[in-house]
Structures are given as C-alpha cells and as structure tokens.
Amino acid sequence: MLKPHIWIRGGFFRGTIAFESDTAWSQFQKSYKEFILHFAQVVQDLKNFSEKVNRSILFTEIGYRSIHRSTVKPWDYSVREQPYNCKAQADVLEAMFLSFQEKNWWAGGFIWKWFPDHANSDGVSDTTFSPQNKPAEDIIKRYFTNLE
C-alpha cells in the first residue's frame, strides 16, 4: 500500500506546519518536493508494478470536500469557511471514477469520510469530505452498483 503523506506525532493537523525562518521553510519545501516526486514516479509506474507483482492497486482514501475548487489542495482542511458547492464534489468524484474505471490494475478505493449514522449525516450545506446525503453519494452508488 502506498500512502505518501506527512504525519505529525500527536495527530496535529499538517496544515499548521510552520517554520522559524525562510531558510527552514525552503529546506522543508525542497525535502517535501523530493518526497512527493519520488511517489509521483511510483504512481506513474503503477500499471507496470501491478503487472509485475500480479496485484491490483487499491486507493486507501478517495475524498473531496463539497466546496468551490475542491481539487485545489484537497488535503487542506485548514480553511474552514468555504462556500458550499456539492456539484464540485460530485464532479470531481465523477472525473476520478471515469479516469480509473477502465484501468484493469485499479481495485477501487475507500471513500473518505463515511459516517455510520447515515441518516443524520449533515448533507446539504455540509462542506466536509463526506459525500453522504449529497449528489456525490449518487455518483458513488452508480459506480459501486452492479460491478462486474
């Protein structure tokens, strides 16, 4: 399983990373760029890797917030006050499914964030990652129903 992300001990939100100087910030950016480019190269070779090990690739988190520009830094939850946009969330999930559905190496993925109390999930006006009770849920149902 590949899941490149920064984890801060204690579960602190990564969006709060701060540095004391421009030099320290630049050093972090350089290091992070190398880290991400390494994984970008791995992702580029997913098909070859999948065939080599005879295994499908499973995405461990698929999720976008229901806000404007939900594909811009989708991991960044620090900006809480964003306009609600359920269409953007549904559209980007649709695009993701269209991009990968025909890839024979893709095993699917887990939806982030799904709550067990479905009936009481926020839905309309909820700008979180949850697709529950929003148009994005219909997109997910369509792609996860009648799988062959």
Q: What's residue 88's pLDDT?
A: 94
CA-to-CA distance for 80 and 74, rounded, in angstroms? Answer: 12
Helix (H) or strand (E) holding 107: strand 106-111
pLDDT recorded at residue 4:
64
DSSP per-residue codes, 37-56:
HHHHHHHHTHHHHHHHHT--
Structure confidence at residue 91 (pLDDT): 95
Cα dist from 86 to 116, 122, 145, whole Å? 20, 12, 21
Amino acid at 100: F
Indicate the burial class of 90 (C-beta count within 10 angstroms; 0-12, 13-18, 19 or more). Answer: buried
pLDDT (tens, 9 = 90+) of the chain, 148 residues, equals: 456 667 676 666 777 788 899 999 899 889 888 887 887 777 678 888 898 999 998 988 899 999 988 888 887 777 667 889 999 999 999 999 998 888 888 999 999 888 888 777 777 788 888 999 999 999 999 988 865 5
What is the model's pLDDT at position 23? 94
DSSP 50-73: HHHHT--EEEEEE---SBTTTTSS
| pTM of the predicted model as reported, rounded to 2 decimal places | 0.66
Residues in the chain: 148
pLDDT value, residue 10: 65
